[in-house]
Amino acid sequence: MNPWSAIKDAALGWRMIILGQPEWTAQFNRTASGLAVALAVFAFAAFLAVIVASAHIGMPGLIGVVVAMLVLGLPLLALAIMVWVTRRTMRDAGPVQDVMVPGTYAATAFLLVEGLLALTGGPLVMLAWAGLAYLLFRLARMATNWHVVVAIAFAVLSVVLLVALRLALYMVSNLPTPD
């Protein structure tokens, strides 16, 4: 599968999701291979984000790049955890790829938008969080049979989990060293 056509299809699919058009499903390859392509696109975007963030200080070594990309992957982790928790809570047996494939493209867009907003000023990053929550809400409404309250909770808790994961990672990385 061509990643460029997958990105183009995902952009069109997301437009359809936001507009509430039911034929959005045709724009995403909601299979394991489609998820693999979406993850590859996300990894490429994360690598580009590391390069841009390192422009002033120099590119880190291989371990530094891998760690930075893992940290940038936290939106995917938050999404996967909340999909799992919500599906278990709702006893939903629908396919995971229906949410994870479009959600991975949303996380990729979030990664890029959040990075750009972070360059302009810290408080503007909250706009990216609000945008991600809206996209996840629309996705939950279109891809699942979850009630509107469950879709709102899924979207809000996904973003809260993302922020909590980052805060926890920051706190752990700044532990005092013993003398």
At 59, the pLDDT band (50, 70, 90 cuts) reads: confident
Q: What is the pLDDT of residue 1?
A: 67
Q: What is the pTM of this model?
A: 0.88
Q: Quote the CA–CA distance of 152 and 144 in Å, as a whole number.
A: 13
What is the pLDDT averaged over residues 88-100? 85
Quick one: CA dihedral 24, 26, 27, 32, positive or negative? Answer: positive
Given a contact cutoff of 8 angstroms between Cβ atoms, the answer to whether 83 and 106 are in contact is: no
Provide the pLDDT for residue 123: 82
User: What pLDDT shows up at residue 104?
Assistant: 95
Cβ-contact 101, 29 below 8 angstroms: yes
CA-wise closest residue to 87 among 158, 157, 132, 144: 144
Question: Three-state SS across the chain?
Answer: CCHHHHHHHHHHHHHHHHHCCHHHHHHCCCCHHHHHHHHHHHHHHHHHHHHHHCCCCCCCCHHHHHHHHHHHCHHHHHHHHHHHHHHHHHCCCCCCHHHHHHHHHHHHHHHHHHHHHHHHCHHHHHHHHHHHHHHHHHHHHHHCCCCHHHHHHHHHHHHHHHHHHHHHHHHHHCCCCCC
Q: What is the mean pLDDT of residues 157-173?
A: 85
pLDDT of residue 16: 94
* Mean pLDDT, residues 41-62 taken together: 88
